[in-house]
Amino acid sequence: MSGAEGSAPLRDARDLIEVYYEKGWTDGLPVVPPTEASVGAMLASAGLRGEEVVGEIPDRHVRLTADKAAINAVLAGCLPEYMPVVVAALKGICHPDYCYHGAATSTGGAAVAVIVNGPIAARLDINATDNVLGPGFRPNATIGRAVRLTMMNAINTRPGKLDRSTMGNPGKYSLCFAENEGASPWEPLHVERGFRAEESTATVFAVEALIQVYNQLSNTAEQLLLPFADAMSNLGSMNIAAQGQVMVLFAGEHCETLRSSGWSKRQIRDYLYGHARRTLADLKRVGRLAGPVEPGDADAWRHPVKTPEDIVVLSAGGAAGAFSTLLMGWGSSSNSRSITTPVVEG
């Protein structure tokens, strides 16, 4: 795939867009045709040369270069100033602990969630509040889209080929948001992971499904969190068998309940871990675990994560409404992990 198509006798941008459709270089939506100037602006914003390697995926024998990332960022509709976040996210999915090959090619159909922290989130106006997981915000939409287009065009992760997802996931178009650090009762995700508050980061997380949790009458942390624990441990989830990570996005009203209760992230994780569980007997009866029900299975428990540390807690979403969201992780705790990478600007 190359950048500009300047030598082709095309009448206008609509013709170029149709060429990209014919080449299979879109995600099904129209793209922005790249030019030498627009690709150069992307590279300059991230302080990269075109031939520099952003990351490698040994399982796919892929070396992802900066020019390919820049072309796909243009295709996605990014502004140049978004490029450092795109690069940080791509470095994250290339990290060995993310387990790209499994997460991207599985029949499970994981999306890549990109969570932005630090000063760059506000500077780029990346949405962290109302409709945080929905449309209407250019940086959210185009940064997440650039990651997916790069996966498709530079790593050949295409439906029916390397992407063998049974059902797919609308988050595969784009799933990018910022943590609502200003409204959070806790330290931000990137600080929790060892970065300074004034640093900017992008965290990538392989998301199997989004589950919205509604609880409008609870006034204690225990009361509030029980529905989350129940939703985390439903019998049909990948997590109850595979025990991958779970990310919990607490929005405004639920954040205030937890703030007024004085609960730390540690208390939240421990409580959710203790109450999100199913018996081995339940799991075997529905075929989620192999083998017959044995004596003692009715009193033996399995959790959707292996340890409380596998529950990632952060604040995101609007101030009004008693809704929050679970991002259920792909894979097991021994393979795909959420990865936080610093954003480096040019």
Average pLDDT over residues 16-45: 96
Give the pLDDT confidence score for residue 4 in this predicted structure. Answer: 47
Q: What is the mean pLDDT of residues 91-119?
A: 95
Q: What is the pLDDT of residue 109?
A: 87
> What digits encode the pLDDT tens for the residues 318-346?
999 999 999 999 987 678 999 999 999 98
pLDDT at 260 over 70: yes
Can you give the pLDDT at residue 5? 47
Question: What's the mean pLDDT in 61-68?
Answer: 96
Which pair of structure tokens corresponds to residue 38? 């627009």
What percentage of residues in the chain have a pLDDT greater than 90?
Answer: 91
pLDDT at 56: 96
Average pLDDT over residues 194-203: 98
Predicted confidence at residue 7, as pLDDT, reads: 45
Contacts of 103 (CB under 8 A, 6+ apart): 110, 112, 206, 330, 331, 336
Q: DSSP letters of 310-346?
A: GEEEEE-S-SSSSEEEEEEEPS-TTS---EEEE----
pLDDT tops 80 at residue 232:
yes
Residue 335 or 248, more confident: 248
**Closest by CA position to 280, among listed 269, 270, 272, 291:** 291
pLDDT of amino acid 72: 98
pLDDT tens digits, one per residue of 151-171: 999 999 999 999 999 999 999
d(Cα 180, Cα 129) in Å, to the nearest integer?
7
Over range 303-325, report the average pLDDT: 97
Q: What is the mean pLDDT of the chain?
A: 95
Instruction: Look at residue 2 and tell me whether its pLDDT is greater than 90.
Output: no
pLDDT tens, 279-293? Answer: 999 999 999 999 999
Contact by Cβ (8 Å): 176, 112: no
pLDDT score at 334: 72
Helix axis angle, 221-232 relative to 265-275, nearest 10°? Answer: 50
**Closest CA relative to residue 69, chosen from 156, 127, 8, 149:** 149
pLDDT band at 121 (very low <50, low <70, confident <90, very high): very high
CA distance 53 to 91: 10
Alpha-carbon span 310 to 333, nearest angstrom: 8
- Read off the pLDDT band of 11 (50, 70, 90): low
Question: Quick one: which of 163, 129, 131 has its CA closest to 148?
Answer: 163
Res 73 pLDDT > 90: yes
pLDDT at residue 184 tops 90: yes
**pLDDT mean over 160-187:** 95
